[in-house]
Structure 1
Amino acid sequence: MSEANQITLRRMAAEDLLAVHELEQQLFPEDAWPLAGFESELAQSDTRTYWVYEDAGRVVGYAGLCVVLPIADVQTIAMHPDYQGRGLGRKLLALLIQTAGEKNALDVMLEVRFDNPGAIGLYESMGFTTIHRRKGYYKGGVDALIMRLPLDVQQGQEEERNA
Structure 2
Amino acid sequence: MSALPKYQPQFRVMSYEDLIAVCRIEPTIYSHPWTYGNFKDSLDSGYCAWVMEMSGEIIGYALVMMVLDEAHLLNISVAQAHQGQGLGRALLGHMIEISRHRLAANMFLEVRESNTKAIALYETMGFCEMGIRRHYYPTKSGREDAVLMGVAL
What is the TM-score when the length of structure 1 is the normalising length? 0.83
Greater helix share, 1 or 2?
A: 1
User: Residue 48 of structure 2 aligns with which residue?
Assistant: 49
User: Residue 27 of structure 2 aligns with which residue?
Assistant: 25
User: Residue 94 of structure 2 aligns with which residue?
Assistant: 95
Q: C-alpha separation between the residues in 2 aligned to 1:43 and 1:82? A: 29
5+ long unaligned stretches in structure 1 = 152-163
Q: C-alpha separation between the residues in 2 aligned to 1:101 and 1:67? A: 11
Q: Aligned-pair distance for 1:89?
A: 0.8
User: Residue 117 of structure 2 aligns with which residue?
Assistant: 118
Whether the 8 Å CA contact 1:64–1:74 is kept in 2: the answer is yes
3-state SS of the aligned residue for 1:99? helix
After superposition, the CA RMSD in angstroms is 1.5
Q: Aligned-pair distance for 1:81?
A: 1.8
Q: Aligned-pair distance for 1:7?
A: 4.2
Greater strand share, 1 or 2?
A: 2
Cα distance change on mapping 1:99 and 1:139 into 2, 3 Å = same
Q: C-alpha separation between the residues in 1 aligned to 2:111 and 2:119? A: 7
What is the TM-score when the length of structure 2 is the normalising length? 0.88
Larger Rg: 1
For these two proteins, the number of residue pairs brought into alignment is 146
User: Residue 152 of structure 2 aligns with which residue?
Assistant: 150
Instruction: Write the deviation string for residues 101-142 of structure 1: whole angstroms up to 9, x where unpaired.
Output: 111111100000000011000000000001011121111211
User: Residue 16 of structure 1 aligns with which residue?
Assistant: 18
Q: C-alpha separation between the residues in 2 aligned to 1:40 and 1:21? A: 14
3-state SS of the aligned residue for 2:109? strand
The residue identity in structure 1 corresponding to 2:34 is W
The residue identity in structure 1 corresponding to 2:147 is L
Whether the 8 Å CA contact 2:7–2:54 is kept in 1: the answer is no
Q: Whose relative contact order is higher, 1 or 2, with alpha carbons under 8 Å and at least 6 apart?
A: 2
